[in-house]
Protein backbone atom coordinates (compact mmCIF):
# COMPACT_ATOMS: atom_id res chain seq x y z
CA UNK A 1 0.00 0.00 0.00
CA UNK A 2 1.27 3.46 -0.89
CA UNK A 3 2.25 5.64 2.03
CA UNK A 4 -0.23 8.32 2.98
CA UNK A 5 0.71 11.80 1.79
CA UNK A 6 0.25 14.16 4.73
CA UNK A 7 0.37 17.96 4.65
CA UNK A 8 0.03 20.44 7.49
CA UNK A 9 -0.68 24.14 6.99
CA UNK A 10 -0.28 27.22 9.13
CA UNK A 11 -2.74 29.96 8.12
CA UNK A 12 -4.09 32.68 10.46
CA UNK A 13 -3.11 31.06 13.75
CA UNK A 14 -0.40 31.15 16.42
CA UNK A 15 1.28 27.80 15.52
CA UNK A 16 0.10 26.43 18.88
CA UNK A 17 -1.68 23.59 17.06
CA UNK A 18 1.62 22.64 15.42
CA UNK A 19 3.30 22.79 18.85
CA UNK A 20 0.66 20.36 20.06
CA UNK A 21 1.37 18.22 16.97
CA UNK A 22 5.02 18.07 18.09
CA UNK A 23 3.78 17.11 21.56
CA UNK A 24 2.88 13.70 20.12
CA UNK A 25 6.52 13.02 21.04
CA UNK A 26 7.81 9.53 20.24
CA UNK A 27 4.69 8.65 18.22
CA UNK A 28 6.02 11.13 15.64
CA UNK A 29 8.73 8.59 14.82
CA UNK A 30 6.09 5.95 14.23
CA UNK A 31 4.11 8.48 12.16
CA UNK A 32 7.16 9.25 10.06
CA UNK A 33 7.33 5.55 9.22
CA UNK A 34 3.75 5.52 7.94
CA UNK A 35 3.35 8.81 6.02
CA UNK A 36 5.20 11.13 3.70
CA UNK A 37 5.11 14.69 4.99
CA UNK A 38 4.77 16.46 1.64
CA UNK A 39 4.08 20.04 2.79
CA UNK A 40 4.34 21.69 6.20
CA UNK A 41 5.85 24.61 8.13
CA UNK A 42 8.06 21.83 9.53
CA UNK A 43 9.35 20.89 6.04
CA UNK A 44 11.10 23.01 3.41
CA UNK A 45 8.65 22.72 0.51
CA UNK A 46 7.70 25.79 -1.55
CA UNK A 47 4.81 24.55 -3.70
CA UNK A 48 1.76 22.70 -2.38
CA UNK A 49 1.93 19.35 -4.25
CA UNK A 50 -0.80 17.50 -6.14
CA UNK A 51 -2.67 14.42 -4.86
CA UNK A 52 -2.29 15.00 -1.13
CA UNK A 53 -4.25 12.48 0.96
CA UNK A 54 -4.72 14.38 4.22
CA UNK A 55 -4.15 18.05 5.08
CA UNK A 56 -4.32 19.42 8.63
CA UNK A 57 -5.14 23.12 8.32
CA UNK A 58 -4.29 25.26 11.34
CA UNK A 59 -5.59 28.82 11.50
CA UNK A 60 -8.40 30.94 10.12
CA UNK A 61 -8.65 32.66 6.74
CA UNK A 62 -7.37 36.15 7.56
CA UNK A 63 -5.52 37.49 4.50
CA UNK A 64 -5.34 37.05 0.73
CA UNK A 65 -2.44 34.58 1.01
CA UNK A 66 -4.54 32.33 3.25
CA UNK A 67 -7.46 32.58 0.83
CA UNK A 68 -5.39 31.69 -2.22
CA UNK A 69 -3.58 28.81 -0.49
CA UNK A 70 -6.69 27.18 1.00
CA UNK A 71 -8.33 27.09 -2.45
CA UNK A 72 -5.27 25.38 -3.93
CA UNK A 73 -5.17 22.99 -0.96
CA UNK A 74 -8.84 22.07 -1.39
CA UNK A 75 -8.32 21.29 -5.08
CA UNK A 76 -5.29 19.08 -4.47
CA UNK A 77 -6.32 17.31 -1.25
CA UNK A 78 -8.59 14.33 -0.65
CA UNK A 79 -9.33 14.86 3.08
CA UNK A 80 -9.15 18.37 4.49
CA UNK A 81 -9.15 18.63 8.30
CA UNK A 82 -9.90 21.88 10.15
CA UNK A 83 -7.14 21.64 12.74
CA UNK A 84 -7.79 23.57 15.96
CA UNK A 85 -10.24 26.28 17.02
CA UNK A 86 -8.99 29.07 14.72
CA UNK A 87 -9.63 26.88 11.67
CA UNK A 88 -12.93 25.61 13.09
CA UNK A 89 -14.42 28.82 14.57
CA UNK A 90 -12.14 31.77 13.77
CA UNK A 91 -11.30 31.86 17.50
CA UNK A 92 -8.54 34.29 18.54
CA UNK A 93 -7.75 35.28 14.95
CA UNK A 94 -11.35 36.46 14.55
CA UNK A 95 -11.23 38.60 17.71
CA UNK A 96 -10.56 41.54 15.40
CA UNK A 97 -13.90 41.19 13.58
CA UNK A 98 -15.95 43.19 16.11
CA UNK A 99 -13.54 46.13 15.62
CA UNK A 100 -14.68 46.60 12.02
CA UNK A 101 -13.28 46.00 8.53
CA UNK A 102 -9.59 45.61 7.63
CA UNK A 103 -8.88 49.36 7.44
CA UNK A 104 -10.37 50.04 10.86
CA UNK A 105 -8.39 47.15 12.34
CA UNK A 106 -5.14 48.43 10.81
CA UNK A 107 -5.81 51.98 12.01
CA UNK A 108 -6.49 50.66 15.49
CA UNK A 109 -3.27 48.60 15.49
CA UNK A 110 -0.76 50.83 13.66
CA UNK A 111 -2.02 54.43 13.68
CA UNK A 112 -3.96 54.92 16.94
CA UNK A 113 -1.19 53.70 19.28
CA UNK A 114 1.71 55.07 17.18
CA UNK A 115 3.51 58.17 18.47
CA UNK A 116 6.44 58.50 16.07
CA UNK A 117 5.48 58.74 12.36
CA UNK A 118 2.82 56.01 12.53
CA UNK A 119 2.18 54.33 9.17
CA UNK A 120 0.35 51.35 7.74
CA UNK A 121 2.48 48.46 6.45
CA UNK A 122 2.14 48.32 2.69
CA UNK A 123 4.50 46.12 0.65
CA UNK A 124 2.55 44.69 -2.29
CA UNK A 125 3.65 41.15 -3.08
CA UNK A 126 5.44 40.79 0.26
CA UNK A 127 3.02 41.65 3.06
CA UNK A 128 -0.31 39.85 2.45
CA UNK A 129 -3.40 42.07 2.37
CA UNK A 130 -5.82 41.59 5.28
CA UNK A 131 -9.32 40.41 4.42
CA UNK A 132 -12.15 42.52 5.80
CA UNK A 133 -13.43 39.60 7.89
CA UNK A 134 -11.62 36.65 9.42
CA UNK A 135 -13.52 33.47 8.55
CA UNK A 136 -13.32 29.83 9.63
CA UNK A 137 -12.03 27.46 6.94
CA UNK A 138 -15.42 25.86 6.25
CA UNK A 139 -16.86 29.28 5.35
CA UNK A 140 -14.49 29.39 2.37
CA UNK A 141 -14.01 25.77 1.18
CA UNK A 142 -15.71 22.47 2.09
CA UNK A 143 -14.10 20.75 5.11
CA UNK A 144 -14.15 16.98 5.63
CA UNK A 145 -13.38 16.74 9.33
CA UNK A 146 -13.20 19.06 12.34
CA UNK A 147 -10.57 18.71 15.06
CA UNK A 148 -11.43 21.34 17.72
CA UNK A 149 -9.30 22.54 20.62
CA UNK A 150 -7.13 25.55 21.45
CA UNK A 151 -4.86 23.77 20.88
CA UNK A 152 -6.20 20.24 20.34
CA UNK A 153 -4.35 18.00 22.83
CA UNK A 154 -1.72 15.71 21.27
CA UNK A 155 -3.77 12.60 22.11
CA UNK A 156 -6.73 14.00 20.18
CA UNK A 157 -4.58 14.73 17.12
CA UNK A 158 -3.12 11.23 17.27
CA UNK A 159 -6.59 9.67 17.50
CA UNK A 160 -7.67 11.45 14.30
CA UNK A 161 -4.45 10.67 12.42
CA UNK A 162 -4.55 7.00 13.41
CA UNK A 163 -8.07 6.71 12.02
CA UNK A 164 -7.20 8.51 8.78
CA UNK A 165 -4.08 6.39 8.24
CA UNK A 166 -6.15 3.24 8.78
CA UNK A 167 -8.67 4.55 6.22
CA UNK A 168 -11.40 4.99 8.82
CA UNK A 169 -13.61 8.05 9.41
CA UNK A 170 -12.38 9.57 12.68
CA UNK A 171 -14.93 9.65 15.51
CA UNK A 172 -14.52 12.11 18.37
CA UNK A 173 -16.64 11.50 21.45
CA UNK A 174 -17.95 14.16 23.83
CA UNK A 175 -14.71 14.55 25.79
CA UNK A 176 -12.76 15.16 22.56
CA UNK A 177 -15.18 17.70 21.05
CA UNK A 178 -14.31 20.47 23.47
CA UNK A 179 -13.53 23.96 22.18
CA UNK A 180 -10.89 25.87 24.09
179 part of the interface to another protein, by CB under 8 A? yes
CA distance 161 to 148: 14
Give residues with Cβ within 8 angstroms of 19, minimum separation 6: 151
| In the complex, least distance from residue 52 CB atom to another protein, rounded to whole angstroms | 21
* C-beta atoms surrounding 115 within 10 Å: 5
138 part of the interface to another protein, by CB under 8 A? yes
Q: Candidates 33-41, 46-54, 94-102, 161-169 — which segment interacts with another protein by CB under 8 A?
A: 94-102
59 part of the interface to another protein, by CB under 8 A? no
Q: Candidates 26-34, 38-46, 116-124, 141-149 — which segment interacts with another protein by CB under 8 A?
A: 141-149
Given the DSSP bridges, would you call strands 130-135 and 61-63 parallel, antiparallel or unpaired?
A: antiparallel
3-state DSSP call for residue 110? helix
CA distance 44 to 35: 16
Q: Candidates 2-10, 124-132, 140-148, 161-169 — which segment interacts with another protein by CB under 8 A?
A: 140-148
Closest Cα to residue 79, out of 139, 7, 135? Answer: 7
- Binding residues (CB under 8 A) for another protein: these are 82, 85, 88-92, 94-95, 97-99, 133, 136, 138-139, 143, 146, 148, 150, 172, 174-175, 177-180
Amino acid sequence: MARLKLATLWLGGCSGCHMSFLDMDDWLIELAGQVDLVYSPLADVKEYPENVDVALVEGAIANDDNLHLIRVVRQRTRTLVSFGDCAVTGNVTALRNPLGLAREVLDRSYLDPGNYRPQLPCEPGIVPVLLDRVQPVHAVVPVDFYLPGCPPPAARIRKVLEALIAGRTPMLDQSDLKFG
